Copies of this chain bind each other. A is one copy, B any other.
């Protein structure tokens, strides 16, 4: 509950944006896996601030220090504790927020819920926490070596990839600083982001995630359907407003006779409106889903608000922030997907006794 995610493969995280460190514990990691630390660093770099011109210039090297659970490079089955130090804290930047509630941030609700809060950089509500998820996801991805999980930006603001777009090469994703594999659309997105930043404004967008080679049978009826857990996982990511899998919201406009996925002799289906999941259980087809991100709440414009005494005040737009979080959220979406798939893979091992 609260700061833990997963059932068997379980991540618990801690840490505030401007505290000494953030970190976590991965419990239930299967034993005997050789860990590729470079791969973990690489995943962290995909999320970290300062990676390109269109993201926040806050500098965190985000290096992970593992404290337990890995011995001679091999997972031992005991909990993996890790920390990521907060180096580039400019806490002073936040003094003006001590008594202020920023619009569409969590300042107000934390104050009311807990009666106190670490106001520096949003404290616990900061997306900095998601770095810990990328650590756990990078380990899950390695263990799930035959399953491929990748995500890309399918829209930013009003710039969208064609809805029937099919990705050609996964490697194309990383070639784009907005992580959109379609060259032309990628350029337009970059242009939009730059324009928004120039105006002190921000943009939202949609991430599409695809998971291939998932074994048949993952997902637990009734309340732990594979897609309800994926949906929950995505909705825990900062700024996410929606989730749809398979045909999603568009599927509501189809007829049953169009939407049904006819089963073929090889037990694959002719179409895949089901998105690889039927009755909450994977059927071996590709799993795919969309995740909606709102525009970042921190804008570089002055905004009216109230302070904690209920007096009107002005929030000044300053600090180092992302004009659009979507590109940096890609590895977070993938990480959460990997955690869910590994967790449900392990759960599924308990369905039969032999």
Contact = CB atoms under 8 A, between A and B. Distances in A.
A118 B217 CA distance: 16
Interface stretch (A37-45, A54-62, A242-250): A242-250
Interface in A1-36: 1-5, 7-8, 10, 12-16, 19-25, 27-28, 30-33
Q: How many copies of this chain sit in the oligomeric assembly?
A: 4
Contacts of A19: 67-68, 71
B236 A242 contact: no
Contact of A278 (B80, B108, B216): B108
A254 interface: yes
Given A68-B19, A129-B222, A254-B295, A113 B2 contact: no
Contact of A281 (B110, B249, B252): B110
Contacts of A169: none
A125 interface: yes
A150 interface: no
A105 B256 CA distance: 12
Contact of A295 (B104, B116, B256, B310): B256
B228 A232 contact: yes
Contacts of A350: 8, 28, 30, 346-347, 349-350
B231 A14 contact: no
A334 interface: no
A223 B109 contact: no
- Most chain-B Cβ atoms within 10 A of its Cβ — which of A71, A101, A129? A71
